[in-house]
Chains A and B, each alone.
Chain A
Amino acid sequence: MNKATRVARVETIKPGDKLPRRAFKPDNVQSMLYNAVLWNGHRIHFDEPYARNVEGYPGLVIAGPLLGDWLHQCVDEWLGGEGTLALIEYSNRIATYVGETLYSGGTVTACRPESGEVELDVYIENETGQVVTPGTALARFPGA
């Protein structure tokens, strides 16, 4: 991709632009595979009787970093290889459970075409519209 095209992309971005929203519905298999890949043996993520009866959760807890990964994917897909994710900040505020449908999305909050920098608000939301994992990100487009 030539420099002119890259500059064109960042120049088309405006504050208020929405990042595509995506639904996630992780099941027991995905939860197990994710925690296995991490080597995370925390039982609240795969042992449902333990999660319910010992820890008192309503189901298997979705691992916090998985929600963080979905924020990254939201930005990374939107960048489409034309820019890079330079910085992300987020926090897991509300627990989520296997069986819930969760949504990722975001909004452009600032755009500086002269430096190629774009600031974003990103979120993971649950079915009731609560933001469970809010975050901010900084993306950089080269060639500016």
Chain B
Amino acid sequence: MSFDLHGRAVLVVEDDFYLADDTRQMLEEAGAEVLGPVSAANEALSLLEMLRPDYAVVDVNLGAGPSFGLASTLQARGIPFVFLTGYDLDIVPAEFKGVPCLQKPVDPEKVLVALSTLEIGVRNPPGR
């Protein structure tokens, strides 16, 4: 699977260092510029104050149970993202139905595949 993310900035929000680092490495190998990784929602939010990523990879649980505040912010700003979760998929609220959701342990390649579906959405936005 090769997927070119050159010229794309991807925000990585994941509280597990190794998973975050693996994801960073994999994204960089695909040519992306990685923002973060950060391990907490507030760090991600302050990063979003200054930078606008093309995509984001977001862990559902950042240490204090499932939370979706950051996801709402991303959605509100029109930044496409994928979820990573250690929980069952049904923990994701209905409003994020269209968001790709990957269950841990995650094969890094799958993150790329999921991002590619976002890329298609960006290039062919619905409603055209």
Partners in one complex: no
